Structure 1
Amino acid sequence: MTAPLCPGATIGIIGGGQLGRMLAGAAARLGYKTVILDPQPNCPAAQLASSQIVGAYDDPTALATLAGSADVVTYEFENVPVAAARSLAERLGVLPPPKALDIAQDRLTEKTFLNDAGISTARHFAVDSDADLAAALDALGGSGVLKTRRLGYDGKGQRVLRGLAAGACRGVVAAMGDVPLILEELVDFSFEFSVIAARAADGTVQAYDPARNEHREGILRRSLVPAGIEPATLAGARASTFALMEALGYVGVIGVEFFALADGGFLVNEFAPRVHNSGHWTDAACAVSQFEQHIRAVAGLPLGDPRRHSNAVMENLIGAEIDEAADLMRQPDTVLTLYGKAETRPGRKMGHVTRIAPLSAKG
């Protein structure tokens, strides 16, 4: 794509969850149509989009229909089949590039790429057998976080190991599903934070203020802005995020999760090649949200100003917490977003609420 998409053009979105829904809304504000590819009829994104293709993400017929319907394609989650994204990229623009998907889908590949780009992560080891696990634990002093290399999210596919002797490793890999694993060092961090940033095709970059993130049972519970991060730490985290996007040849919005260390340093935990849960606050506290920023980037438009006009606290509404929606609507300075999901389940993100306040002297 060498010129910005004209109003009325169609943006394809692979994935029909809440992120696709919010992207479709942002695209409509800028005058674009959207077509969603998702196997679930009337998925949350399709409720706001111009049309939906009901089909598997790797179905050749569905992909051909998407390629014939859209002017550019993006995606809302990082487990899109890479082969499908590459197939689409032979026919039209796919942004962010499939390379970002390929790297983000494997935790070992991801950390290796980050390290090769000069970005620090926790120490880690590939684990394919109980013997590998014993050796890795020995190198890390008997403790670590054992994770599946692929498909884990919201705390799934993870097991914390503390003080485990080498002889106690028998059967652990089998219990994790006999899939490729990675053992990561347990990091003694002060708090977690994330940087949401964007890169345009011409290399222009922008970053939102970082958010301090609080998790519960592996799921993001709350994001707070300002995050109370030292200026030097903030500058380093932004520089690492920009370096990562440059190395990926990235176009679009990215979410990079960090561990803040007591000495002012930081480590990258992981990155998501898409809009990110910890950036939902931007829809209430910035003139240009992360969703609009992503649409601008993939459509070839100028990136927007990421400055915020308010402080913000964003909280996910998980499971039955959606029943609080009516009460939340009565609260001042509160922005409520529901995802249009038909079924409420424990641990399922049903919406989010952002409370805004005037900028403070520290903000």
Structure 2
Amino acid sequence: MGQRIAPDNQEPHVPVLLAEVLSALQPLKGARIVDGTFGAGGYSRALLEAGAQVIAIDRDPNVAPHVERLRSQFPDSFEFVPGTFSRLDEAVGGRPVEGVVLDIGVSSMQLDEAERGFSFMREGPLDMRMAQSGESAADLVNTLDETELANLLYAYGEERKSRRIAHFIVAARANEPITTTTQLARLIEKAIGRKPGDAHPATRSFQALRIAVNAEFDQLVEGLFAAERLLPEGGRLAVVTFHSLEDRIVKRFFDPEKGGPAQSRHMPMTAAPERRWIKVAKAVKPGEDELARNPRARSSVLRSAIRSEAPARAVSFDGLAVPTVRGAA
């Protein structure tokens, strides 16, 4: 995820914020690290080269060539488990782990494959399913009623013109189903226009559909709590996100007091809850050199912290500001 992928016969390019991720997970030599979002294996490779043992997880079957490459090069220190990072503690199977890295969002590998339907820049089926099973983006676009569709685009894509886009979609699909990426992208551009120099008008809508199709916010929250259950005191968690909604969830997960209501000075003081994460690092963003090498890194943010001795919490969405579709627009 977040990795720029070379053709299959070449090594993948460096994933975003690589040096910063490695620093956040130190010390690495001899440590067992879970790469919960394997993608093309950029983080896994760097971790292995630094002397770590890696358990990698991914739900996309198309990662197989990258898995086999690392498996052949690091047979004694690399293991791959197919599945979702939301259940990473189960994937580890009780083995001790010193660190977890999560790179949230769609990978460049998926964006660059037109047949996966993630990109509005490439003609392909309107799919967007990371696991290549279940409900597709086309299913949502062609079956949700206008209000539900508008709410989805607003909540998950922060698309202010969601109602107008939804109205255009519903009118268009009455004549024929919307089945391709470029068909939908042209329709959105027709609905809200495009100003020179602005991002493509379909950007936010495609983000919203992808998040909905893959239940990405649910996966993120479940994965964060799975890492909390898995990591012992002193264990390290590094999370790279690619838009503000994800970053806000991670920020509040590490420091829930910042997401809660302010305590009135007129009320008796209450004890602060136990902190599950300590040494919460400031958010890290890519520098100019990295942005010059990989413009897709521009929205990435790294947050990291160290596990305390406090027992893991039960999974809860409270206080994490997870967007909800119901009544959003």
Question: Normalised by the size of structure 1, how large is the TM-score?
Answer: 0.31
The structure with the greater share of residues assigned to helix is 2
The structure with the greater share of residues assigned to strand is 1
If asked which structure has higher relative contact order (CA below 8 Å, sep 6+), I would say: 2
